[in-house]
Amino acid sequence: MNKIIISNVLNVFKKLLLAHILFLVFMSIFRLVFFNYYSSLDSLEGFYFDIFNAFFLGFRIDLTVIGYIQAIPTIILIILYYVKKDNLLLYFEKFLVYYLFICYFVVSLFLCADFGFYSYFKEHINILFFGLLDDDTKALMVTFWQNYNVILILAIFFIYLSFLFYCIKKIFDIKNKNYNSFFGLKISALIFLILFILNFLAIRGTFGMYPLGKMIPNVSTNEFINKISHNGFRAFTNALSAREKYLKKKYDLLKATGYKGNIEKAFEIYKGTSDINKNELLKNITYKTKKIDDKEYNVVVIMVESFGMPILKYQSEEFNILGELKKHFDKDTLFTNFISAGNGTISSLQAMLLNIPHRPGSFAFSQSIYKQTSFTYSPAFLYKGSGYETSFIYGGDLTWRSLGQFIKHQGYDNVEGKINIFNHLEDVTKDKDEYFHPWGIFDEYLYSHILKKLENSNNKQFIVALSTNNHPPYNIPNDYKSKSLTYNEEIKNHITGDFELAKQRFASYAYAVDQVGIFLDKFKKSKFKDNTIVVVTADNNTIDGIMKYDENEILNSRNIPLYFYLPESLKSKLNIDTKVAGSHKDIFPTLYNLTLKNKEYLSIGKNLFDLNQEHFGFNGALVVNSKDEAKKFKSLSIKNEPMLEYYKACLAISEFLIKTEYKKNKESK
């Protein structure tokens, strides 16, 4: 009896092994497709060994996924052997066909999701993935439908699943052989111990200290080759772990930066001296404005969706990507060494609104314990206290990420979304649907609304606006006449992925920035040109997902514009170096010193027009740039890197500031 049972159990193990080998082949094929589709390498020469190592490492990572899938069958098969019920083993073998199919199906879904995620963020699935799930579901569906051949993709996926199920079924229909031993071993307990250890090693993936998947080593000096090894399922599980830690309040940036229990040291590094105010730590980041004239100014800050800088190097009459904005960029003040705080809209927006760096691994404030916290040190409160009417205008739905509810706590008198903009239109001559795209109202109406708000104002205006147009599915109005976008060979050679989809993205990009130019045309003809400062920036450079660069890859991947329109009488009084580094945290400290007189403010960022200070830009993907270089760091745990140490100190101070405000709010309620 024992020999029959052990033979049957070993036959099931054999069939499981064959099925797993088949799926490992499919996963490797998927990795090859990923490599061919996203590769930015002009030549493979010099990288053959690295690519081989990346695929081999990827196979090992895939094997960890198989190890997890196999864990349940391994345990149950061992139990069934000792139960010694042939009929139960038979039922379990039939069950395994469906168990494997469902597991492989789920893994395949995440591989495909990762493929799509990479096209947008140029990273494997990370914590931003859950933010996408919190986005407008209908808009996401429309985006997917318009940007991709959904019917073809689903048809191919259905054929793949059908073939996968057929193969699994065929494998489990293989007739059993009579096994008297396992590679000569006949002691069942020893056999199962070996199988259990092999399963454990498959899950762990390494004999090293850290399990493979949690700690994935680099195999190349090329960043893209290193990314080949990862797979979407492991990327998802890592992101899920980070999310769960945050939701359980285990997110501890002070610990991650090394300043838990020693926050004073962070302020010392930030200040560059041990002579700090230790009794009132926030006094160390408190400044007083140094306004250089007595004139009062309106302030308009516009964040343009996905307005990356690198594509602008190809601007020409034939490839007129800037449109009407070009002359304003040429004439006015444009900082070109500026990077985004985050790689998603919400992360960069909240960093700008709260005047802090984006905290790596954190969730949107509007969807966290801070969603009803009033950060009273932030820009809108400061301007409101200085006699300004404060407005936040979003071209989309204010329900997105619960943004509207969060903004209402941040000192804004007016919080307006797409419906508010539409309801204030004076001439509605088209069908209502023609004013909107899946994510909001077309940008031209957002800008006309800002102009009307200035025209109808009775007091000083502080306006922050966020556009929506340059966003998948990349719609532009039916009546918009696009500028010339002729793609020469140089541009084509620097675009990766689907070229037809890239053309849609650039058409939407061109419309979005052209509308900023048209807005500035109208603005400069108005009476407000002499008493208003306009700032235009972006949330991120998502074009990075489909571009490759010849140089400065780290800077280019995060590079966005920061444009200032300054009345000439003010501009002539400033010493301006447009090459200084910065990120979203620096926008409002700069504006404070241009517009507010003798006002105290808290800030981690610096006044970009103050050339006596050292300037850095911070991106939540651990990218730091200075005037001379940009670096991407692998971990916050790295020591003795001056740029990183300063960044970590700023992050720790940000976390200290946020927690102080949160505590203060709770005590006041």
| Predicted pLDDT at 134 | 57
| Predicted pLDDT at 471 | 79
| Predicted pLDDT at 467 | 96
3-class DSSP state of 288 = strand
- Which homologous superfamily is 289-632 in? Alkaline Phosphatase, subunit A (3.40.720.10)
263 within 8 A of 652, measured Cβ to Cβ: yes
| Predicted pLDDT at 554 | 92
Q: ∠ at Cα 234 (340, 13), nearest 5°?
A: 170
Secondary element (H or E) of residue 535: strand 532-538
For the chain, which residues score pLDDT lower than 50? 1
> Helices (DSSP H) in 315-392: which residue ranges?
326-331, 345-354, 379-384
| Predicted pLDDT at 1 | 43
Q: How do residues 40-65 score in pLDDT, each as one tens digit? A: 777 788 888 888 988 998 898 899 89
Give the chain's largest Cα–Cα span.
Answer: 98
| Predicted pLDDT at 581 | 98
With a CB cutoff of 8 Å and minimum separation 6, the contacts of 600 are 286, 287, 288
| Predicted pLDDT at 247 | 66
| Predicted pLDDT at 198 | 85
- Count the Cβ atoms, other than its own, within 10 Å of residue 262: 11
| Predicted pLDDT at 137 | 59
Whole-structure pTM value: 0.76
Q: How far apart are CA 18 and CA 12, in angstroms?
A: 10
| Predicted pLDDT at 245 | 67
Q: Distance of CA 607 to CAs 7, 358, 575, 592, 642, Å? A: 75, 18, 12, 8, 21
- Which of 588, 626, 630 is closest to 605 using CA atoms? 588
Q: Would you kindly state where each structural domain of the chain is located, as residue ranges?
A: 2-247, 251-281+638-669, 289-632
